[in-house]
Amino acid sequence: MKIGLLALQGAVGPHAEILASIGATTVEIRRPAELDDVDALVIPGGESTTMARLLVTSGLFDPLIERLASGMCAMGTCAGMIMLASTVLDGRPDQRSLAAIDIGVRRNAFGRQIDSFECPLEVSGLTGTFPGVFIRAPFVEEVGSGVSVGATVEDHPVLCSTEQILVTAFHPELTDDQRVHRMFLEMVEQ
């Protein structure tokens, strides 16, 4: 299984390390033609408005929408969640998203960098808690049909999924716990 890592901006390395540790081959994606050779894509945390601009200037935006529409699985963490959402509730007026999962996301919803935090999460399908690492994190305010909520903080969804998309407001790649990435690989294998 070959997993693409959107490598325009953001925390790509930690995702590569955790995916390699559980048996996935990863390749960094910077150009449209590179999308052709991957089974799925991870969009890392970073800065969503910058990431959106770089998707456009690299020529990746429209090819990525096409791949997602044709059924390619994707995982987005933090800014990746924002990029995959159908609605960005407080984004820039010119900010585009990939609209791959029917959720409305609020950027930096838990506060600024100084408000970053960690907390144990109860995640559907996992035994025990998962170490949630939240850095200037978004949360979901609107959940559309066909979207499952897998974890919440203060009644706000922070992990959502469909059959092909998994998004988290937190950073599972910044922990030693591989279970969320394993959930994603299981989704890709189906």
Q: Which residue, among 75, 74, 69, 99, has the nearest Cα to 87 in the 3D structure?
A: 99
pTM of the predicted structure, to 2 decimals? 0.95
Query: How far separated are the first and last CA of the chain, in Å rounded?
Result: 12
Phi/psi zone of residue 64: left (φ > 0), alpha (ψ -120 to 50 degrees), beta? alpha
Sheet containing 165-168, strands listed edge to edge, beginning at the edge strand earlier in sequence: 25-29, 2-6, 40-43, 73-77, 165-168, 156-161, 148-153
| Alpha-carbon 149 to chain mean position | 14
Residues 105 and 154: their CA atoms lie apart, in Å, by: 15
- Domain residues of the chain, as ranges? 2-189
Of 28-37, 94-103, 107-116, 148-157, which gets the smallest average pLDDT?
A: 107-116
Is 163 in contact with 99 (CB distance < 8 Å)? no
SS3 for 77?
A: strand
Tell me how far CA of residue 43 lies from CA of 47, 118, 154, 155, 190, in angstroms. 11, 21, 25, 25, 20
Question: Residue 1 has what pLDDT?
Answer: 87
pLDDT in tens, 4-52: 999 999 889 999 999 999 999 999 999 999 999 999 999 999 888 889 9
Active site residues: 78, 171, 173
Q: Is the pLDDT of residue 78 over 80?
A: yes
Q: Which two tokens stand for residue 45?
A: 């945390």
Q: What is the CATH topology of the domain spanning 2-189?
A: Rossmann fold (3.40.50)
Task: Give the residue-averaged pLDDT of 106-115.
Answer: 82
Q: Which two tokens stand for residue 158?
A: 């922070």
Question: Residue 154 has what pLDDT?
Answer: 93
Residues 82 and 74: their CA atoms lie apart, in Å, by: 13
